[in-house]
Structure 1
């Protein structure tokens, strides 16, 4: 599978899939962050201690940041 955001003339292998839109991305077009995982627990929320790896394409990262 090749990166969705790379030009068609350059077939760059994808290393991840965006968790938001499902696009395959290479290292150059992937954005990695960490988010806390929260579960509904009764009438509140329980936050897990270890952050989750969150990989998005650059377009989805820009949308999340705006």
Structure 2
């Protein structure tokens, strides 16, 4: 799979991740990495896990979330 953003610029770069919002392939230069808290149902409430998970987004989805 190739990086979607690089392909739109006529470049061919291997993707190393997928955007968790839109599914686009991302290279290291175009991937935005953020922590994601993982929740799990526990009895009548929720518990969180540590450490936090990684979450990859493309530039477009990253800007839409800010």
Range class of TM-score, shorter chain: 0.7 to 0.9
Higher helix share: 2
TM-score (norm 2): 0.83
TM-score (norm 1): 0.83
| 1:2 match: secondary structure | coil
**Aligned Cα root-mean-square deviation (Å):** 1.4
Question: Number of residue pairs matched?
Answer: 65
- Distance in 1 of aligned mates of 2:4 and 2:47: 36
Q: Which residue of structure 1 lines up, in the alignment, with residue 5 of structure 2?
A: 5
Task: Find runs of 4+ consecutive structure 1 residues off by over 6 angstroms.
Answer: none
Structure 1: runs of 5 or more not aligned: none
| 2:46 match: secondary structure | strand
Structure 2: runs of 5 or more not aligned: none
